[in-house]
Chain A
């Protein structure tokens, strides 16, 4: 029996065609008409899995087709792999970084910075025609291979595996190495001792416990950022100037400001203006690295802010959002819940701390750009001590008016596993909000067990 696929309705086409273009880093533009054609003709053939109506993977039989930016993030996601191939062919430098870091210096050095998730998306997007089940199996296979080659005790090492075996033409492995992920140390070590010596490695090191109040710590990290830029320059054969870095900082600050303004707008009303999935995919644009093209992310984010403002003004409720849903705040790295099923159970995701704290940390735009960037990075609230992180999280929870907090950590994400309990205990003690901790298997077929717990938590709320 064939899989049932979602189709965008022609009824919404005329309205969508009135929306904005997407502008890319290389100055090229894609029109709403081209996006529509891709999403309705090419997309379903290449990536049927993302159109599959399959509750266990979180797809709905309908989406918010009246939210143009929802279609555009879908488009950027589906075209990601092909765009990376094209960028590489055109001589663009590509760096493998880790999650939870801003990418200003990479943008300054005209380099595409890809987190582990995006590296996986590039690799898996090369193969067409897969349904959801086959896609999940492919991702699981990558993880299992990485377990074999690196370690079973780490979570998201699939990206390093793709670099090691030469699946993808990555130019440099260049993560900030003391940020949140324990798997990054496994990956870096595996790469250091691995077979693929063609891909350069640089650790952008900074002091333990961040110590943003100590000038020597900021200066030490700023020196490391300079080394990073120098390494990227060697890879691309061109020098990055301080003006380039200032431009990148201003550009990313614009993304960060738009992202936080969008989140504030979304939180300002009792009627959620979008569903969880749309909210998260729009707010996630704030770091501008999500789709491998900072300008594309920025143009969709600008349009999204206008639309959300309009929706808030007119009291529009997001597609498939129930009346008075229980508001959930999700904590943890590289995690999320099955949003559509949780909405069906009467909840909505109103915020996540993952990838969020560096969006709320603006970089000062006067002085030494390296120093400012280092200072902002060392101040990321998510990376601070448990108490400081928890206090910042409480601020976000209060702003979002969340009813409950779920902390999820992946198997092998040792940092998050260690901090989950004290953080939720702190939040519970300070706010009285119910909390729940859940450990999961990355890319596992564990939907029912996890959803059972999430639904029980929603019922409890």
Chain B
């Protein structure tokens, strides 16, 4: 196979997953998604190699690579590192130019991001010290109910009621959940309450940065349909349907930024 054209890659190494996107001629050419390990260099490379393999490319074929996510500082394969807040903004704007507000929920943090029509960040807020409101929180809850993480959302959506839950702290919520189970509350109602408590926490972040339509939900937790519904209710908005796996948005943004850097540095005309 003959390789031609300019290829730009974005690699997003998060706390739970490493993702990569390769762009060719302005189109998504290949993607990679692997679980993050202890070694963030290795995790990023695994994600990148997966996308390269899918595309039939070698690393040398890439014109520019941008690293993002918590592993971006340990990304010797990348030409530059950019924070995932900027990358989620660019990635969302690339796919959905009408979006002005992004909710990004990843493994260890959640972010409220406001962007302008060019995809530049106007304001943002993040959770500070606690895992409540993040993917890790949902993982803990999946463990409590002994269900698969990916099934949490659909179970919550089957609820007939919403049990009010604490969104203060993962540990408090876990203990509260165990008490509720012992009292005979239905698991789906408790899970529904958990999703709504997270959504309320996110709504608090938006009190700082504001909301403007359209609204997009990115990150691994965006695949959770129960979370999407709870956020829509908490923020009283309708969330734009993603065109690709929302977990890849950060990596996509990094690839878009890679293309911009390459142009700026004269590597691509």
Residues of A within 8 A of B (CB): 411, 421, 434, 436-439, 441, 448-449, 452-453, 455-457, 459-460
How far is B82's CA from A448's CA once the two chains are assembled, in angstroms?
13
A455 CB contacts on chain B under 8 angstroms? 83
Most B CB within 10 A of own CB, among A411, A436, A439, A460: A460
Q: Are A456 and B128 in contact (CB under 8 A)?
A: no
Interface: B217 (CB within 8 A): no
B70, A460: Cβ atoms closer than 8 Å:
no
Nearest chain-A residue to B71 (Cβ)?
A448
Other contacts beyond A459-B83, A459-B86: 14, CB < 8 A: A411-B129, A437-B125, A439-B128, A441-B129, A448-B70, A452-B70, A452-B83, A452-B84, A453-B126, A455-B83, A456-B86, A459-B121, A460-B121, A460-B122
CB of A460 within 8 A of CB of B86, answer yes
Beyond A434-B123, A448-B70, whether A456 also contacts B129 by CB under 8 A is no
Q: Given the complex of chains A and B, what is the CA–CA distance between A438 and B70 in angstroms?
A: 17
User: What residues on B are CB-neighbors of A457 within 8 Å?
Assistant: 124
Interface residues in B63-112 by Cβ distance below 8 A to A read 70, 73, 82-86, 109
A452 nearest CB neighbor, chain B only:
B83
When distances are taken between beta carbons in the complex, the residues of chain A under 8 Å from B73 are 448
Partner of A439 from B82, B83, B129 at Cβ < 8 Å: B129
Q: What's the Cα separation between A441 and B130 when bound, in Å?
A: 12
Residue pair B129, A460 in contact (C-beta under 8 Å): no
Which residues of B sit under 8 angstroms from A434, Cβ to Cβ?
123
Looking at the assembled complex, report how far the CB atom of B9 sits from the nearest CB atom of chain A, in whole angstroms: 19
What residues of B have a CB within 8 angstroms of the CB of A459 in the complex?
Answer: 82-83, 85-86, 121
> Across the interface, which residues of A come within 8 angstroms of B86, CB to CB?
456, 459-460
Q: Which residue of A lies closest to B123 (CB)?
A: A434
With a CB–CB cut-off of 8 A, which chain A residues contact B123?
A: 434, 460
Nearest Cβ on chain A to B44's Cβ, whole angstroms: 15
A438 and B125 alpha carbons, distance in the complex (Å) = 9
Which chain A residue has the least Cβ–Cβ distance from B109? A449
Q: How far is the CA of A460 from the CA of B90 in the complex (A)?
A: 12
Chain B contacts of A437 at CB under 8 A? Answer: 125, 208
A contact residues around B83 at 8 Å (CB): 452, 455-456, 459
Q: Which 5 A-B pairs have the closest CB atoms?
A: A456-B85, A456-B83, A460-B121, A439-B128, A459-B86
- Chosen A-B contacts, 11 in total, with CB atoms closer than 8 Å, are A411-B129, A436-B124, A441-B129, A452-B84, A453-B126, A456-B83, A457-B124, A459-B86, A460-B121, A460-B122, A460-B123
Residues of B within 8 A of A438 (CB): 128
CA distance A449 to B120 in the complex (A): 21
Interface residues in B, total, Cβ within 8 A: 18
Assembly CA distance A249 to B254 (angstroms) = 56
Q: Give the distance to chain A from B104, nearest Cβ to Cβ, in Å.
A: 11
Determine the chain A residues whose CB is within 8 A of the CB of B208 once the complex forms. 421, 437
B126: chain A residues within 8 A (beta carbon): 453
* B207 nearest in chain A by CB position: A421
In Å, the complex CA distance between A107 and B268 comes to 64
Residues A456 and B70 in contact, CB atoms below 8 Å apart: no
Q: How far is the CA of A449 from the CA of B70 in the complex (A)?
A: 8
Chain B 221-254: CB-based contact to A (< 8 A → 1; otherwise 0): 0000000000000000000000000000000000
Closest B residue to A458 using CB positions: B83
A411 to B120, alpha carbons, bound, how many Å? 31
Across the interface, which residues of A come within 8 angstroms of B70, CB to CB?
A: 448-449, 452
What's the minimum C-beta distance from A65 to chain B, rounded to whole angstroms?
27
A280 CB, min distance to chain B CBs, angstroms: 24
Chain A residues near B109 (CB-CB < 8 A): 449
Instruction: Provide the bound-state CA to CA distance between A164 and B3, in Å.
Output: 71
CA separation between A460 and B128, bound complex, in Å? 19
A448: chain B residues within 8 A (beta carbon): 70, 73
Given the complex, which residues of A lie within 8 Å of B124, measured CB to CB?
436, 456-457, 460
Contact mask for chain B residues 160-173; partner A; CB cutoff 8 A; 1 contact, 0 none: 00000000000000
Of A411, A436, A459, chain B has the most CB atoms within 10 Å of the CB of A459
Whole-angstrom distance between the alpha carbons of A78 and B208 in the complex? 42
Residues of A close to B128: CB separation below 8 A: 438-439
Docked Cα-Cα span, A291 to B123, in Å, equals: 39
Of the listed residues B84, B125, B129, the one surrounded by the most CB atoms of chain A closer than 10 A to its CB is B129
Residues of B within 8 A of A439 (CB): 128-129
Distance A411 CA – B84 CA, assembled complex (angstroms) = 25
The answer for the CA separation of A453 and B70 in the assembled complex, in Å, is: 11
- In the bound assembly, the distance between CA atoms of A457 and B122 in angstroms comes to 10
Chain B residue with the shortest CB-CB distance to A56: B73
Binary contact track B174-200/A, C-beta < 8 Å → 1, others 0: 000000000000000000000000000
Identify which of residues 112-146 in chain B touch chain A, using a CB-to-CB cut-off of 8 Å.
120-126, 128-129
Bound-state Cα–Cα, A117 to B124, Å: 32
Shortest A151–chain B CB gap in Å is 17
Return the chain B residue nearest A459 by Cβ: B86
A434 to B125, CA, bound (A): 12
Bound CA span A341–B112, Å: 24
Distance in angstroms between the alpha carbons of A438 and B128 in the assembled complex: 7
Tell me the bound Cα distance from A449 to B131 in angstroms: 13
- Closest chain A residue to B130 by CB distance? A439
In the complex the two chains form, what is the Cα distance from A438 to B83 in whole Å?
16
Chain B: CB-nearest residue to A441: B129
For A453, list chain B residues within 8 Å (CB).
126
Bound-state CA distance A411–B129 (Å) is 9
Bound CA span A453–B84, Å: 10
Q: How far is the CA of A150 from the CA of B120 in the complex (A)?
A: 46
